[in-house]
Structures are given as C-alpha cells and as structure tokens.
Structure 1
Amino acid sequence: MAGVPIADGLFTWPSDEPRLIGGSCGRCGALSFPRRAGCPRCGASGPVEHLIGARGTLWTWTSQGFAPKEPFNGAIGEGGLGVPWYVGLVEIPGEIRVEALLTGVSEEDLRIGMPLRLVVVPWRTDDEGREVVTFAFAPDPDGQRSSETEEVGARA
C-alpha cells in the first residue's frame, strides 16, 4: 500500500514494519505519544524521538455504531472501515498505552489481553486524489496474551 500519512511524525511510513513515533524525555524518562514539544510529566522541553514497539495487548475497547459527524474526514461508515467500528487502548509492554483504531475484528473477537500488532490502513482520499493512510491495531496471531493484562481486566 502506498499512500501518504495522515500526519507527519506520527508513524514511520513507508515501512514494511511501521512504528509509532513517540517522544522520550531526557530529564524524567517519560514516554509520550504522539511526540510533543514538551514533556507531559515534568515540562522539560525537547523530548527525543522514540520508536514505540509495534506489538501490544488490548487493555480495553469501545465501539461506535454510526459514522462520526462533520467535519470528520475519514472513511468510517459506508465504503470505509464499516459500522460498528472499534477503538482500543493498546498496551505496548514496558512502554506506553496508545488509543487507536482496531481493524480486522468483530465484537465477538475482542478480548482484554488479546495480542495486537500495528498496521497501516487507508483513511480517505485527499483533494489531490492521493490515498491517505493512518495507523491502527489488528489481531496478532503470532503474539502472546498478556497474563498481567488478563488478570487486571478480570478484576475490573
């Protein structure tokens, strides 16, 4: 898939193995995504680029039964990602939790702790006719369920 990223500096693209681009604070070590000009924890300026792991586990999720209203410009709904669509909080082990679209799943598939991997998906076609792509997470058949996440999810 070719395409242009939905935003510069959000994920590595083009890439056979895309990664999210976060920021790591040189003062306190906090990791943030997306990368910011300042640290969200201590306020230090200039966090350095940090490539975030591409595999994680589902921490929690929700669904939306209708396409977002204007001025939304993505492809959710007819001809796009479909309705309902899913958003999850994905835990990248030892790094961060990231909110992201979930793709390639149905409600019956979704389980707290399920292994996921980062993918790039079509988002829309821009005014110049180019395909715009964004990141999402999809089931990772080669991944391991997180027993720690399962345990926390079972208590919630």
Structure 2
Amino acid sequence: MSRQSLEKKQIPAVEGVFTWPSKEPRFVGSKCKACGTVSFPKSSVCRNPLCANKADVEETLLSRRGKLLSYTLVCYQPPPPFVAPQPFVPFPIGEAQFPEGVAIIGQMTGCKYEDLKIGMEIETVVEKLFADEQGNEVVGWKFRPI
C-alpha cells in the first residue's frame, strides 16, 4: 500500500463555493459588470431581475467577515445528506450578512447558543463536517464570532 493511499485528505462538501485550501477561506460569488449585483453561489448570469445585461458577470470573492442577522438552535437531526454526530446534539445556525449585500446561512462554531447576539461580527471558517467512508475529512463553511 502506498503512503499516499494511507494519507487522509480534506475534501470540500461542495466544490467551488469557497476558496480551498486556504487559511483564510472566502465564499466564491459572482458580480454583474452591468449593475453591480453580487450573488452567492457563483452564477453565470445576473440574478437581478431589473438588470439589462444579465450575461456580463464575473467571479468575485466575498469578504470573510460579516454581521449576524439572525440565528436559531437546530434541535432535530436534519435529514441526509447532512451527517450528524451520534448521539445527535443540537447546534446553532446563523444567517450572516456580508458587506457585498449577500446573506448566507451556516452553522455557528466556537460559541454557545446563549452567547449569540444579532449584529455581532462573524468570520467565515472551514471546518470538518464529517468523515467519509475512506476516512477523509469532508469540510464545509461555518461562522465563528469574532
């Protein structure tokens, strides 16, 4: 067996939605050159219904930091493909507003539900979500209070 086959990898749960690998991960979105609308995830057309030139978009990286708009505690185990630790433990999720005008929902990390406050500053991080059948770490974005 080769050394490489013994090494476990980190694999994004969804390809192309955040920069990876990166010590400072950022969401990958799109920006319309005609009207300036920023959207996430990346799109090949402008999502602004009022835009006259929907095909003129470019890839853009969103800021790492944003503000917590809303949050809640998930008290039930989400259905597949979500993989939860067993036994299931409730976890907080939050909606983060980024300076580019995009709001994204994600799990909260590095905090207790009771410590969350609307308007608090958060940063995007990438952490292990679960291990796949080969033992690789499947990673995804989470939000951590600053």
The TM-score by the shorter chain falls in which range? 0.7 to 0.9
Give the number of aligned pairs: 136
Which residue, 60, 63, 72 being the options, matches 1:50?
A: 60
Match of 1:109, as an amino acid?
D
Q: Which amino acid aligns with 1:30?
A: T
Q: Distance in 2 between matches of 1:131 and 1:77?
A: 14
1:4 and 2:4 equivalent?
no
2:83 counterpart residue number: 75
Q: Could you tell me whether the CA contact under 8 Å between 1:35 and 1:47 is conserved in 2?
A: no
RMSD: 2.1
Please say if residues 73 and 91 of structure 2, whose CA atoms lie closer than 8 Å, have aligned partners that are also in contact: yes
Shift of 1:127: 3.3
TM-score of the superposition, structure 1-length normalised? Answer: 0.78
Question: What SS class does the counterpart of residue 108 from structure 1 fall into?
Answer: helix
AA of the residue aligned to 2:82: G
SS of 1:28's partner is coil
Code of the residue aligned with 1:26 in structure 2: it is K
Aligned-partner Cα distance in 1 for 2:116–2:122: 10
In the alignment, structure 1 segments of 5+ residues that lack a partner are 141-156
Letter matched to residue 76 of structure 1: A
Q: TM-score, normalised by structure 2?
A: 0.82
Runs of 5+ in structure 2 lacking a partner? Answer: 1-8
Query: 2:127 and 2:96 mapped to 1: Cα distance?
Result: 17
In the TM superposition, what is the alpha-carbon distance from 1:51 to its structure 2 partner?
A: 0.6
2:74 corresponds to 1:64: yes
How far apart, in 2, do the equivalents of 1:77 and 1:124 lie? Answer: 8
1:138 corresponds to 2:132: no
The one-letter amino acid of 1:135's match is W
| 1:23 counterpart letter in structure 2 | S
Q: 2:116 aligns with which of 110, 114, 121?
A: 110
Q: Following superposition of structure 1 onto structure 2, how do residues 5-20 of structure 1 map, counting pairs within 5 Å?
A: 5-20=12-27
1:112-155 deviation digits (Å, cap 9, x = unpaired):
01111111011122233321100010111xxxxxxxxxxxxxxx
Structure 1 stretch 6-15 or stretch 88-97: which is displaced more? 88-97
Task: Provide the C-alpha distance between the structure 2 equivalents of 1:99 and 1:37, rounded to a whole number of angstroms.
Answer: 22
Cα distance, 1:94 vs structure 2: 4.2
Partner of 2:28: 21
Instruction: Return structure 1 stretches of 4+ with deviation > 6 angstroms.
Output: none
Decide whether the 8 Å contact of 2:63 with 2:100 is kept in 1. Answer: no
Q: Contact 1:73 / 1:124 at 8 angstroms: preserved in 2?
A: no
